[in-house]
Amino acid sequence: MPTVDFLLRSYDQTEAFACHSDSLDNVLAFQYEFLSLFPGLANFDTNTIRPELIKSSEIEANIEAFIKKAEGEIPAIHRIGSFIRNLADGETFFVFPTSELDRKVSFHISNLLSARYHKEDFEETQTSMNELFGGLLDKYDIFPYGNKRKAIGNSSKADRICRFCQNTRIPLAFKKRAHAISEALGNKTLVLHDECDGCNEEFSRTLEPQIIEFFSLYRTIYEIKGKGGTKKFSGKNFKIGRNEDELLEISFSDLEKIEPENQDVVEDAPKLPFTITLHSNKKISRQNLYRCFCKFFLSVIPEELLPQFRETIKWTNSEFDIDKLPQIIEFNFPHSFQEQPVLLVFIRRDNDQSVPFAVCEFQFTFHRYIFIIPRSTADSKDFSEKENFDNFLSVFSHLNRAQDGMYVDFSDAKMRDFVINCNFVKNNQSDEIVE
């Protein structure tokens, strides 16, 4: 069926939609009419830098009129209206007649949008970004997952092959809806066809409860909606949730655990600053958290890449432990919140064995976790070793420059008590308490 795709980009929005028709002439007519709404776009070339577009009341009015005309045949066009309305007056954006951009064009567009948004010089921004990411773009292809809806794998149940057991489970069935990232972490966009019911049940019983527990504090605080909506978080000595007024309410059962020495209590609350240790009801294994991160990766990559990760899949299935894993790099970005969990997948473009074949970044709320995929047959080096890990960092050089990054060892395979230390301090610039 003839189809035309469109991609809209602003500094903090990306929206894509497609027009389908049995008639090629109808598709081409729609394409021309839609692009004519934006100055300078009627004559287009898919992968060139487009004219910069500026949000105006005239463009918004033209889009709203076009939506009313086309909504009967293309319901998805309402997303374009939302995209335009969410732009600030005078904000820069781009429109492309394609669903994907060449990586260098995309990089250029991202830098330009950032410069316009922050009112910075574009050439300085481009130079700075090239210093940080130029080598990375030359070495890796980058694939985002989670910002838009995607069903991964074979849509035909009769032809499906489970990515995790190769259809060896008995009985074999594909009746359940499997999520590529745990639905409890807010994933509403990524569905995996190629995961059988038995593997889905096994992961939901073993690995996924541990990563859900690991992120439960943030799920509650930031009101991440999983299956059944938002969740409260409770443990051996605490309960956290929203009250009837939708205010965050925290109660503790053992204030004697407050540190440091200041134990004064006013109106049943300790004076700031203080630390409270939260004791979960559940145990977790750090290595199982790493396994679950990799399970998300294995759930989204193209099927043709899976043979490179047969040993990784066995490890993800807990068939064996790995004594020493590469460190995971963790960052917090307070000004970049993700309601929907996102994966950035980095696949090496050549056979340079000095860097990993596959790297992944998991984005959840304000948190980012960057991890190397272990045991790929496309790798000949052990990236848990410092020299090899340093080579990896030399290409991912932006990780060294970001502030407050933590390098964490997730090799421990033993199930241990899960404990969270919460630090409460006064924000010097307001009356708020920050954690």
Amino acid at 394: S
Length of the chain: 435
- Residue 427: what pLDDT? 64
Q: How many percent of the chain have pLDDT more than 70?
A: 89
Is residue 80 scored above 70 in pLDDT? yes
Q: How many percent of the chain have pLDDT more than 90?
A: 48
| Nearest-angstrom CA–CA distance, 339 and 343 | 13
DSSP for 180-238 reads SS-GGGT--SEEESS--HHHHHHHHHTHHHHHHHHTHHHHHHTT--BTTB---EE-SSE
Is residue 428 scored above 70 in pLDDT? no
How does residue 48 score in pLDDT terms, banded at 50, 70 and 90? low
What value does the mean pLDDT take over residues 223-234? Answer: 85
- Residue 431: what pLDDT? 46
What value does the mean pLDDT take over residues 71-82? Answer: 80
- Residue 215: what pLDDT? 95
| pLDDT tens, residue by residue, 115-126 | 998 898 988 887
- Residue 183: what pLDDT? 94
What value does the mean pLDDT take over residues 290-297? Answer: 98
Cα-based distances in Å from 346 to 138, 349, 357? 12, 9, 8
Helix (H, G, I), strand (E, B) or coil at 84: helix
How does residue 43 score in pLDDT terms, banded at 50, 70 and 90? low
Given a contact cutoff of 8 angstroms between Cβ atoms, the answer to whether 348 and 356 are in contact is yes
**E-strand stretches of 213-366:** 233-234, 238-242, 248-252, 265-266, 269-270, 274-284, 328-332, 338-348, 358-365
- Residue 22: what pLDDT? 79
Of 97, 95, 71, 65, give the one whose Cα is nearest residue 83. Answer: 95
Of 104, 87, 5, give the one whose Cα is nearest residue 52. Answer: 87
| Nearest-angstrom CA–CA distance, 114 and 369 | 23
Written as six digits, the tokens of 325 are 């894993």
**Residue 311 per-residue DSSP state:** H
| pLDDT tens, residue by residue, 166-181 | 999 999 999 999 999 9
Per mean pLDDT, which range of 134-143, 156-165, 425-434 is the poorest?
A: 425-434
Of 58, 31, 26, give the one whose Cα is nearest residue 42. Answer: 31
| pLDDT tens, residue by residue, 303-326 | 999 999 999 999 999 999 999 999
Query: Helices 386-395 & 122-139, crossing angle to 10 degrees?
Result: 140
How does residue 390 score in pLDDT terms, banded at 50, 70 and 90? very high
What value does the mean pLDDT take over residues 267-286? Answer: 80
| pLDDT tens, residue by residue, 327-363 | 999 988 776 788 889 999 999 999 999 999 999 999 9
Per mean pLDDT, which range of 69-83, 105-119, 182-196 is the poorest?
A: 69-83
Cα-based distances in Å from 47 to 96, 108, 126? 8, 12, 19
| Nearest-angstrom CA–CA distance, 135 and 367 | 24
Given a contact cutoff of 8 angstroms between Cβ atoms, the answer to whether 30 and 18 are in contact is no
| Nearest-angstrom CA–CA distance, 180 and 188 | 10
- Residue 268: what pLDDT? 54
Listed ranges 36-40, 185-189, 235-239, 412-416; the one with the highest mean pLDDT: 412-416
Is residue 132 scored above 70 in pLDDT? no
- Residue 430: what pLDDT? 47
Per mean pLDDT, which range of 13-17, 110-114, 212-216 is the poorest?
A: 13-17
Phi first, then psi, for residue 191 (nearest 5°) are -120, 140
Cα-based distances in Å from 216 to 194, 240, 363? 27, 10, 15
Is residue 114 scored above 90 in pLDDT? no
Average pLDDT, the chain: 86
What value does the mean pLDDT take over residues 115-138? Answer: 80
Written as six digits, the tokens of 186 are 């807010």
Of 419, 181, 417, 422, give the one whose Cα is nearest residue 284. Answer: 417
Residue in this structure with the two tokens 């490179």, named with its chain if needed:
308
| Nearest-angstrom CA–CA distance, 308 and 326 | 18
How does residue 184 score in pLDDT terms, banded at 50, 70 and 90? very high
The 10 Å Cβ neighbour count of residue 299 is 23
Return the higher-pLDDT residue of 377 and 432.
377
Written as six digits, the tokens of 339 are 């309601």
